[in-house]
Amino acid sequence: MRYKVFKFGGASVKDAPAIENLHNILRRYPDDHIIVVISAMGKTTNFLEKVLHAYYHNPDQVEALVSELEQQHKDVALRLVPDPGSIFDRISELFGQLRAKLDVEHSNNYDFDYDQLVSFGEMLSTSLISMYLNLAGLTNTWLDARRLVRTDDTYREGRVDWDTTIAQIRDAVLSKPDRVFVTQGFIGGTAEHLTTTLGREGSDYSAAIMAYALDAESVTIWKDVPGLLNADPKRFPDAVKLDKIPYEEAVELSYYGASIIHPKTLKPLQNKQIPLYVKSFFEPDNEGSVIMTCTSKSNVPSIIVKDRQTLLTVFPRDFSFIAVDNLSELFAVFAKYRIRINMMQNSALSFSVCTDAEPQRVQQCVEALQEKYKVKYNENVQLITIRHYNKPTIEKVLSGRTAILRQTSRATIQFVIVER
Ligand code: ASP
Ligand code: MG
């Protein structure tokens, strides 16, 4: 049996019409075996992050937020089916579990609590959608990804234990005659059955994990854009669609932060030569883009802008130069505080990294470094990467601004600039 894996992100399940559209897309594949991987609805993950924040800092606001979220989900169910009794029961059950967690004092381990709470977004969306599809005549089986995707206990960034994961997924799917399965993106579970998440936007990665485990025929990510574009059309209205992209090129693009596909998604697919389609859920007849093994050497410049960056620059306090000794020490500190390095550069006396503005982590890291290094940091910078750069693209992107750091290789140029 060759399965297709379909992934629907938050925008493609954001309300009742979007979920009806998902149903219509599935109806176009009446004979295929499909694993449907779904994110939390709309902005639910952000909303749950607010709930978590309130749980830690303003406990008396928690219940109002939780009720609002419950009402939102029930409203969607009500728009989808005239008599949503059974769906309401399931939603109430999940909210009962969520409230039970919020009723006890937090653990002081923010990342752990994050995963236990924020994972409810996917539990809710998949339960609601699976039940709706069954009521609407599209028979499907709901699977609990916490028992499929085994991770270690690196909360908020669970690292996949591939052997167990493959065995669990194959066991859950291949033994059943069912044609359509619905499961959660983004979440997994430890050997102790504690919930983990795979990192923001991790549902793409979940889809790749499913596809890898099942030797799927293809993965399709259904999105609100016509395919993979060479730039974010909200910033660059002249963005163009890339039709066919080799895996390596797509890996480079996502590595530099193109928000199209979660960076961990592509490697497993490439290993098994599983093509990844990106298609518009508004226009399912249109071609979209495909990432696969191909030689097409497109040199269309791609522009990737990462906002909310912090530039850290360290200078040894003693008389040493930046060399192997202190580099390994610096990297150990970055690893300890999980500082994601989006760009780095050194000179004789300084070492700079551009990282995501995660104030808590950055602050702890700076404190750890300060004993031996003078640390300077610029907040509110942007990191701009151009693959296959040329002069007009650089001019367009910088539009008169000066870079505080610049790095060039044969295919890629990067600039750190102060955010406007
Ligand atoms: N719901 C999660 C997020 O918004 C995962 C995903 O959408 O891929 O980050
Ligand atoms: Mg999402």
Q: What is the tens place of the pLDDT at every residue in 207-266?
A: 999 999 999 999 999 998 899 989 988 899 999 999 999 998 898 888 887 767 888 999
Q: What is the tens place of the pLDDT at every residue in 83-127?
A: 999 999 999 999 999 999 999 999 999 999 999 999 999 999 999
SS3 labels along the chain:
CCEEEEEECHHHHCCHHHHHHHHHHHHCCCCCEEEEEECCCCCHHHHHHHHHHHHHHCHHHHHHHHHHHHHHHHHHHHHHCCCCHHHHHHHHHHHHHHHHHHHCCCCCCHHHHHHHHHCHHHHHHHHHHHHHHHHCCCCCEEECHHHCCEECCCCCCCCECHHHHHHHHHHHHHCCCCCEEEEECCEEECCCCCEEECCCCCHHHHHHHHHHHHCCCEEEEEECCCCEECCCCCCCCCCCEECEEEHHHHHHHHHCCCCCCCHHHHHHHHHHCCCEEEEECCCCCCCCEEEECCCCCCCCCEEEEEEEEEEEEEEECCCCCCCHHHHHHHHHHHHHCCCCEEEEEECCCCEEEEEECCHHHHHHHHHHHHCCEEEEEEEEEEEEEEECCCHHHHHHHHCCCCCCEEEECCCEEEEEEECC
- Ligand 1 pocket check for 257: Cβ under 6 Å: no
* Residue among 200, 204, 206, 259 to mutate when testing ligand 1 (max atoms within 8 A of CB): 200
Tally of CB atoms within 10 A around 243: 14
The whole-model pTM stands at 0.88
For the segment 264-284, the average pLDDT, to the nearest whole number, is 96
Q: Output the six-digit token pair for 85.
A: 């009794």
For the segment 284-296, the average pLDDT, to the nearest whole number, is 91
- Ligand 1 pocket check for 289: Cβ under 6 Å: no
Ligand 1 centroid to Cα of residue 185, in Å, is: 7
Q: Output the six-digit token pair for 387.
A: 């693959």
- Ligand 1 pocket check for 304: Cβ under 6 Å: no
List, as ranges, residues with CB under 5 A of the ion ligand 2. Answer: 9-10, 39
Check residue 66 and give its pLDDT: 98
Q: List residues bridging with 314 in a β-sheet.
A: 351, 375
Closest residue CA from atom 5 of ligand 1: 201
Check residue 263 and give its pLDDT: 83
Q: What is the tens place of the pLDDT at every residue in 135-175?
A: 999 999 999 999 999 999 999 999 999 999 999 999 999 98
The pairing of beta strand 302-316 with beta strand 351-356:
antiparallel
Closest residue CA from atom 2 of ligand 1: 201
Q: What count of residues does the chain have?
A: 420
Check residue 296 and give its pLDDT: 66
Closest-approaching ligand to the CA atom of 198 = 1
- Phi, psi for residue 240 in degrees, rounded to 5: -120, 155
Q: Provide the mean pLDDT of the chain.
A: 95
Check residue 234 and give its pLDDT: 87
Report which ligand 1 atom has the smallest distance to the Cα of 201. 8
- Ligand 1 pocket check for 158: Cβ under 6 Å: no
Confidence of residue 298 (pLDDT cuts 50, 70, 90): confident
Over 80: is that where the pLDDT of 297 sits?
no
- Ligand 1 pocket check for 125: Cβ under 6 Å: no
Ligand 1 centroid to Cα of residue 328, in Å, is: 33
